[in-house]
Every structure is written in C-alpha cells, then in structure tokens.
Amino acid sequence: MKPLVLLASSLSLLLAACGEKPTEAPPAAAATLAVGAVRFGELGFHPEREAPATVLGKNETRLAADASARIVAIAVDSGDAVKAGQVLVRLDAKDAELALARAAAGLAQSAARLAQAEAQMARARSLREKNFISAEALTLRETELAATQADVQAARANRDSARRGVDKCVITAPFSGIVRARTAQVGELAAPGTPLLTLADTSDLQVVAQVQARDAEGLAAAAKVEFAAAGQTHALTPLRISGAISREARTVEARYRFVGPAPAPGSEGRLVWRDPRPHIPADYILRRNGRYGVFVLDGGKASFRELPQAQEGRPASADFQPDVLIVTRGRHALQDGMSVALDQAPAAK
C-alpha cells in the first residue's frame, strides 16, 4: 500500500514540475428541496362575490305637463301607490275649454254650410237633368260642395285638437306604480315638459347592479344569486348581463328579476353570489419573472403555472384538475424546474 502512495505522490510532483494542474473533482449535484403540497381539490375554494345593486321598476317615468297652465290640484304625494289611469294632477282648464267651445262653434257653422251646399247640389243636378242650367253651373256647385266638405274636415280636426287641449289638463298614471318623487306644488305655473311627478313601475321590479368586468363570467355561471338589503335576502332569476363594459368604472350592468315578493322600488342593497370557479388563496400565489402563478409538482420538479387573471393580494381562479399538487411549504425558495421531493409531513399554510 505504501509503495502505491509514494508512486502517486511522485507522479503529482512530476506533473507539477511539468506545469500541469491536478484535475478538480466535479461539483456536487444541487440539493433536492423538500416541499409540502396540497391537492388543488382540497386547497381551492369558491369565494363569495358582491356588487352594489338597486331595485328599479321596468319603467320609471317623470310625468310632465303637456300644456302651459296653472296647477290646481295634486292628488298624490311621494310614496303613494297608484293604479293605471288614476288622476294624479289637474291643471287649470278654463282656457282650453274656451278654445274647445270656439272650435265646436266653428264646426257647427261648417256643418251648416255643408248642408246648404249639399241641398244646392241636389237642386242643380235636378235642373241639369231638365237642361235648365248649363254644365258649367253644375260644375261650380260641385266645386262649392267639395270646398265646404274640406272646411268641415278642418273644423272637425280643430275641434278634436281643442278637446285634446282639455284632456292635457288632467294627468293620469300611465301604469300602476309608486310615486317616487313630487316636484310640483299647487298654484305653480306648469310649462310643457316641466316634471311634476316621478312614477316607478311596480309590475315588473328588477335588480340592477354594476359588476366588475372580471367577475361577470363567474356571475353568469353562478347557480344562486341573491339580493341582500336591510338584513334580508331575496332569491333572483337572471334577465341579462350586458356585454358592454363601462369605460370609466370598468363594470358591466347585470339585471335580475325577483323570484318571490320584492322590496320597494328604489331599495339599495348588494347583489351576492358565490363564484363557481375554484380559486387559489392569495397566500399561495407567487411572482416569477413579472408573472403571477403557483408551483405544482410535476415528476419530481417544481413547475411554475401562470394564472393570467391573478392580481397581487387577491385570490385567483384556476382550472387545474383536483388531484394536481400545489406547493405550499417551501414555495418561496422555488424556481421553475427545480428538483423537489415531497415532504410527507403536514403542509403548512
């Protein structure tokens, strides 16, 4: 044994004398990192989402005057329930009634002239059959009759228009609902287009909510959506979710109808639903190379899986299979492709 050692030492000295360096041992292989992991089916959860919402009628109308007249009576106040056709406001109709009387008198005069023209026409035809008048005279009577008939039509239209002026002095409810607001007072002069009352339709109440665009997909797929207000919840059924995104708020409008009795129109509350897509808690989402994602175990390697919708500090949805192992313990030290070994000890969160 000693001769072999002496021989090796002599060989080393000889190589050193010739300018040769001894070969270095290869670097030791990178250590395998022990990590803890949990199946995605156990780690994932379905977060509850909510959005501000309001109960609105399908129609909410601001009733305005169609004529310029003074308000003489308002039969309802804010909060009153009304029926379709019910009288709500009365305007002073004296001027409109006088206009109607003048129009009716004008129609009566035109009708009398028409009766005279028809009698003259009948006489002219009889005389023409006996050749007592010329054809030109008969034509003149026919022209007078046609003109008188046109006068009657104009007078009748004028009478109908004046009658509408009287009708405009009585404002009725276009549908059954609740008076949301009263903006007029008795004695005020109402001008055409001036809002007098705001009437909310109660026949088809809807929940209108502004939902963040990123939550619209989960809301559309949610199995259960409710309206929460004043300590109560109300079941809803979907109507539509708008495909247009508000440029300012980055929200979309969602509309739902009540399954059972609805709160009063104008009620403020929250649209509440549970996202059907499984989410990964924010604590397990890491950032690598400017991307957000999680590490999963893939054949003894740590594989970084990007979550495109992830944001810092927020849970993110993922479409992994339930048995995919998500690295929980030791995740902060990992890089994509590192060798790992699963620690069988319980995974720390």
For residue 319, give the 3-state DSSP assignment: coil
CATH at 181: 2.40.50.100
Question: Please, are residues 71 and 184 in contact by the beta-carbon 8 Å criterion?
Answer: yes
Angstrom distances, CA of residue 28 to CA of 39, 195, 343 = 33, 86, 22
Residue at 17 is within a domain? no
Question: Please, are residues 184 and 93 in contact by the beta-carbon 8 Å criterion?
Answer: no
Residue at 26 is within a domain? no
Residue at 23 is within a domain? no
Per-residue pLDDT of the chain (349 residues; tens, 9 = 90+): 434 333 334 434 433 444 433 323 333 345 689 999 999 999 999 999 999 999 988 888 899 999 899 999 999 999 899 999 999 999 999 999 999 999 999 999 999 999 999 998 899 888 888 888 888 888 998 999 999 999 999 999 999 999 999 999 999 999 988 998 999 999 999 999 889 999 988 888 899 999 998 889 889 999 999 999 989 999 999 999 998 888 888 899 999 999 988 888 888 999 999 999 999 999 999 999 999 999 999 989 999 999 998 988 899 999 999 999 999 999 999 999 999 998 864 444 4
For residue 49, give the 3-state DSSP assignment: strand
pLDDT value for 344: 64
Total structural domains in the chain? 4
Same domain, 285 and 314: yes
Same domain, 80 and 191: yes
Residues near 66 by Cβ (< 8 Å), separated by ≥ 6? 168, 192
Residue at 296 is within a domain? yes
Question: Please, are residues 237 and 204 in contact by the beta-carbon 8 Å criterion?
Answer: no
Same domain, 192 and 70: yes
Residue at 99 is within a domain? yes
Same domain, 155 and 137: yes
pLDDT value for 27: 37
Amino acid letter at 1? Answer: M
Residue at 208 is within a domain? yes
Question: Please, are residues 196 and 172 in contact by the beta-carbon 8 Å criterion?
Answer: no
CATH at 288: 2.40.420.20
Residue at 348 is within a domain? no
Q: Which residues pair with 82 in a beta bridge?
A: 177
Q: Which residues pair with 72 in a beta bridge?
A: none
CATH at 208: 2.40.30.170
**How many residues are given for the chain?**
349
Return the sign of the alpha-carbon dihedral for residues 329, 333, 336, 337. negative
H helix runs in 237-290, sequence order: none
What domain range is 329 assigned to?
A: 33-45+279-342
Residues near 237 by Cβ (< 8 Å), separated by ≥ 6? 256, 257, 258, 259
Same domain, 264 and 289: no
pLDDT value for 31: 67
Amino acid letter at 108? Answer: A
Same domain, 335 and 303: yes
Q: How far apart are CA 215 and CA 50, in angstroms?
A: 9
pLDDT value for 167: 93
Residues near 338 by Cβ (< 8 Å), separated by ≥ 6? 30, 33, 301, 302
Residue at 123 is within a domain? yes
